[in-house]
Structure 1
Amino acid sequence: MGKWTLSVYYQLRYQEIAGILESSLYLKENVNHSKYMLSVSESLIRCCRLVWNKSLFLPPLLHRFWKLFLQLFSRFDRWLKDLVPDSSQKNLNTILEDKHTMFLLHDLLALSNHLPELHENILNDLHGCLDEKVREKFSCLLSECSPFKMLTSQATFFQSILKNSIMEQCERALNKTYTITSLFRGQAQDMPSSQSYFASDILKPLKEVVDASLLPQGILLNLKTEVLEEITEHYYAVISEILCNVESTEKSLLALRKIRKINHKTGPTDEDRIKKQLCLDVTFHLQQVIFC
């Protein structure tokens, strides 16, 4: 082929391969039951293999096909970043559902693990197409310029997104603990005998992610440990604040009764009911932590 013909040929292959990836850049679940949860991940690997396919690759265009290979990962990386335009990570769960975040994280880890096999397949595809010295240099280049760092960096980023989303949902349920005071203050309620209605919702988002079993055990263990530690610490702070306010209120009411010479009522007080409810909720929470 002449230089002009090679250039035209490459443009055709570029449009074909890049077009496949471009058309798959959206959050669609993979229906092919492969190792990837999203179609875009499978398309990325497919395109990478097409670049070096013996029936498409031409040795004189090695530098251009190498550039295309890197551009595929670069485009995938840019697409991932565009999914979360707010780098401050505020309200991320409104941008990505936890399910899609798990799918992305799963696929990023799977892609990272698949890279050594991909490299080996590429070198096998090029066997006989390049002379031995060029092939050895290309092998070194393939290892040095691996997109592994990009994939692992994105995996870490989406892991933090998932954790922040879980934390936000857990804390939303946890903050309902503040309503316990108003529930029993001056309402003549019976002494509580079970946990609050929202107690089971505090760790529900974490349980749903764990039960989905889409992520490696090591990732899930780290996620559980971090979420449980932070939520329990927050729970302790909330309970301490409520108890401090209850004690302060009771002292004020007691002083007011003395001034007005009002006799102290016998039986459980509002403070007793509030403390009992908090005790029931904390006990239930600790049980949930143990079995999470």
Structure 2
Amino acid sequence: FSALQRKTHPDDFDVDQFVAECRKQVQLEEMREDLELYYKLLKTAMVELINKDYADFVNLSTNLVGMDKALNQLSVPLGQLREEVMSLRSYVSEVIQAIDNQLSKQEDLQKKKVCVLRLIQVVRSVEKIEKILHSQNSKESNSLEISSPLLAGQILERIATEFNQLQFHAVQSKGMPLLDKVRPRIAGITSMLQQSLEGLLIEGLQTTNVDMVRHCLRTYATIDKTKDAEALVGQVLVKPYMDQVIVEETVKSSPGGLQLMYSQLLDFVPHHCKLLKDVTGGAISSAKADTVPGYDFLVNSVWPEITKGIEERLAFLFNPGNPDLFYERYSATMDFVRRFERQCSSQASVKRLRLHSSYTSFHNKWNLPVYFQLRYKEIAGHLENALSDGLEAAPAGSVFHLQVSEVLWSCLVKCWSDKVYLSPLAHRFWKLTMQLYSRYATFLEEVLTKTPSTEVTKEPTRPLPSSASSTSSRTSMDEGGSESGSPASLSTKQLVYIAADIQKLQELIPELSTMVQQRLETIGFKNFTVSDALGDSKACLSSSVPTLNNRMTQHLTERCCRFLKSASEVPRLYRRTNKDLPVRASAYMDNALRPLHQLLTDSSGCNFTEFCIFQLVFRYFETISEVLSSVRKMEESLKRLKQARKGASTATASGSNGGPSDDTKIRLQLALDVEYLGEQIQKMGLQPCDITMFSTLMELVREARELAE
């Protein structure tokens, strides 16, 4: 019902829309009942309202009697008042407009007055300057002696002061007809003043007259022509000297010709610019009260002429075709630039020099990227050539074992050496250092993963010689015989050399870090820790160590076990051969252990040796177990055969002389071999008791020996 009241109040009430919306909420019957109730409520409220104000409704017509006459009486005075107000408003507007017109005229007159005063000042300044010049000329014509330079400087300074005011008023009066008439006279004064200043400055510099130069420079500053004075000094004083010193023949005449030329250029400032530095406050001894500020002759006069002369007459200096010669020229030039900067009077002067366009242009002439490309090709090419040669041995006296490691270290040192490194290319040489380490690590990874090992092309297992105790049987194969015949395979010595060189390179990283740190600190990298940055390179080298360890242990194990398999040939040597009892180890033991002894001789390969011995003992245990098992089976078979043939001869079991049986000799020989293995393990610096499988192996042969006895 309350919603019904809210929806029926708007002025734009629509019956159809109202019914459509209400049907969504209530039924039509319920809506009709609500409307009837609402109608009754409105009707009751209307009756109450009429009853409440009934007296006013009844008296409404009575109270309005005579109202039209009263309104007519008021209309006449109100109309008169309106006309008076409109008239007053029009008068005030006219007065305001008249005042605005008068103010505009007054403002125009004021502007014209200012322009006239400026023009008057221009004319007065021109006349005053011309009067001074006329009086000076008349004095010079009447005098028998030439006026003193100091007097001329003071007069020019007065003229410059007046000329400065003339220029100010002339700029403010631009576009005035009278100014166009006076302009030729102003141009004549300007030309005369500049000629006089130039002549006076040149005379002062030639005669080293401090007061004359001071007055002249102060006059230039007064008329805001300091750039003209600096340009004049560059043309008159600096350029002739540079033409004499910057000569191509002088530079090419001797190896130190370039340094000699730079020394002569540096001598120019103290010998020829001392007067200017004293006057402008560039010298320490110059008095502050007598200095003329606003000049920097070293930056704006001397330096542009130096760079211009070098760029025009010595263009061959910038040629990077010969890196060594380019380095010498660039280093000598940058040393000259630093010494020239030290001749500047202040830090502000040095900053102005470095921001000067000729300074930037001169540095851009040196094609440092091309120089680095040549050095990159030289250094990286040297390493690539060494990589293409493979794992060749390093020259005698080297701290490395492989030639490629020696070349890598020499390349790393060369990047930061005095004859190669340039500070603007520090970031490029740092990147090259990282690339050299990465290339070396990639090479090692390729060698260790792609190069076939020696055990891939194994030689067939050699049978034992006819006599196990023969001295000649103990002669081992040489290095080439112990390795594979494949030229692409890796030898034990090469694997050891790789491990030793990796360790040596990691030990030398602090030395390289110190070298790089010193270089970077000179160019402002104080908080940059090189050792931390080289940690990635160290990790890159270490990434090859696990592969190297696996390759080394696998390689040594295969080489050793290749000969240990000869233990399976021991029964063949003693069965039906009527040999004596063995008293020493078999020859194959020396050949099997020789790679480990050689590893210890070549380097400190204790880690490899210990792991290889573990593998060797384990596989040797398997071989011995198989041999003893075979011997036991053969012995049992012979016993059964003997029982089957009671009348047969027993020579096959006891030998022709009735001594120890063949099985006894076999067990004794294997026991001697295992004991010899334990002795050799001790000689290698290890304890057999620390090897678990060796104790099991000893127990196995001990039981076999007891059976033999």
TM-score range (shorter-chain normalised) is 0.7 to 0.9
Is it true that 1:111 corresponds to 2:475 in the alignment? no
Per the TM alignment, residue 148 of structure 1 is displaced from its structure 2 partner at its CA by: 0.6
Residue 592 of structure 2: aligned partner: 202
Which residue of structure 2 lines up, in the alignment, with residue 223 of structure 1? 608
SS of corresponding position for 1:31: coil
Q: Is the 8 A contact 2:416 2:515 kept in 1?
A: no
Instruction: Look up the match of 1:40.
Output: 404
Matched to 1:289, the amino acid is I
Moved more, 59-68 or 253-262: 59-68
Task: Report how far residue 119 of structure 1 moved.
Answer: 0.7
Query: How far 1:140 moved relative to its partner?
Result: 7.0
Q: Any conservation in 2 of the 1:28–1:38 contact (CA below 8 Å)? A: yes
Q: Is the 8 A contact 2:423 2:519 kept in 1?
A: no
Question: Are positions 1:22 and 2:22 aligned together?
Answer: no
Q: Cα RMSD between the aligned structures?
A: 2.6
Contact 2:585 2:676 in 1 (8 A): yes
- 1:171-229: per-residue Cα shift (whole Å, max 9, x none)? 111111100111222333332232222222221110111123x23xxxx3322221222
Cα deviation for residue 90 of structure 1 reads: 7.3
Letter in 1 for 2:407: S
Q: Give the 3 Å change call, closer, same or farther, for CA 135–62 of structure 1 in structure 2.
A: farther
Q: Distance in 2 between matches of 1:263 and 1:39?
A: 69
Structure 2 partner of 1:251: 636
Structure 2: how far apart are the matches of 1:86 and 1:16? 28
Contact 1:21 / 1:44 at 8 angstroms: preserved in 2? yes
Query: 2:652 aligned with 1:271, yes or no?
Result: no
**Map of 2:561 onto structure 1:** 171
Deviation of 1:258 after TM superposition, in Å, equals 1.8
- Residue 85 of structure 1 deviates from its aligned partner by 4.2
One-letter amino acid matched to 1:255: R
1:159 matched residue in structure 2:
549
Contact kept, 8 Å, 2:566 with 2:588, in 1: the verdict is yes
Tell me: CA distance 1:178–1:62, structure 2 relative to 1, closer, same or farther (3 Å): same
1:171–1:231 Cα contact (<8 Å) kept: yes
How do 1:272-287 residues align onto structure 2 when only pairs under 5 Å count? 272-287=664-679
Q: 1:54, CA displacement in angstroms? A: 4.9
**CA distance 1:183–1:259, change in 2 (3 Å):** same
Match of 2:608, as an amino acid? L
Farther-moved stretch of structure 1 (117-126 vs 32-41): 32-41
- Report what 2:578 is aligned to: 188
Paired with 1:258 and 1:3, the residues of 2 have a C-alpha distance of 107
Q: Is the 8 A contact 2:400 2:504 kept in 1?
A: yes
> Which residue is equivalent to 2:430?
66
More deviation in 47-56 or 224-233?
47-56
Q: Name which of structure 1's ranges 246-255 and 160-169 shifts more when overlaid on structure 2.
A: 160-169
Q: Secondary structure at the match of 1:203?
A: helix
1:279 alignment partner AA = A
Distance 1:43 1:164 in 2: 29
What secondary structure is seen at the aligned counterpart in 2 of 1:182?
Answer: helix
Matched position secondary structure for 1:190: coil
Structure 1 range deviating more: 21-30 or 9-18: 21-30
Query: What amino acid is aligned across from residue 165 of structure 1 in structure 2?
Result: H
Distance 1:231 1:139 in 2: 44
Supply the AA of the counterpart residue of 1:136. Answer: N
Secondary structure, in 3 states, of the residue corresponding to 1:202? helix
Worse-matched range after superposition: 2-11 or 223-232: 2-11
Given that residues 109 and 155 in structure 1 are in contact (C-alpha distance below 8 angstroms), is that contact kept between their aligned partners in structure 2? no
Alignment of 1:74-113 (within 5 A): 74-86=438-450, 91=455, 94=484, 95-113=489-507
Shift of 1:53: 3.3
1:53 alignment counterpart: 417
How far has the Cα of 1:55 moved from its partner? Answer: 4.5
Contact 1:54 1:125 in 2 (8 A): no
Q: Identical aligned pairs, as a percentage?
A: 30
Does structure 1 conserve the Cα–Cα contact (< 8 Å) formed by 2:412 and 2:433? yes
The structure-2 alpha-carbon separation of the partners of 1:181 and 1:85, relative to structure 1 and needing over 3 Å to count, comes to same
Shift in alpha-carbon separation, 1:49–1:161, aligned structure 2, 3 A: same
- Superposed CA deviations along residues 135-182 of structure 1, whole A, max 9, x for unmatched, are 4236376245x3111222223432332322221111111111100111
* Contact persistence 2:453–2:555 (CA under 8 A): no
Q: Does 1:290 find its partner at 2:688?
A: no
* TM-score (norm: length of structure 1): 0.85
State whether structure 2 residue 498 is matched by structure 1 residue 136.
no
Distance 1:159 1:140 in 2: 26
Q: Partners in 2 of 1:110 and 1:221 — Cα distance?
A: 17
Q: SS of the counterpart of 1:257?
A: helix
SS in 2 for 1:198: helix
Q: Which has the larger radius of gyration?
A: 2
Task: Structure 2: state its 5+ residue gaps.
Answer: 1-362, 457-482, 685-709
Farther off after superposition, 44-53 or 272-281: 44-53
The count of corresponding residues between Structure 1 and Structure 2 is 283
With normalisation by structure 2, the TM-score equals: 0.37
Q: Which residue type is aligned with residue 513 of structure 2?
A: H
> Partner residue of 1:121?
515
Shift of 1:96: 1.3
Cα drift, residue 88 of structure 1: 8.5
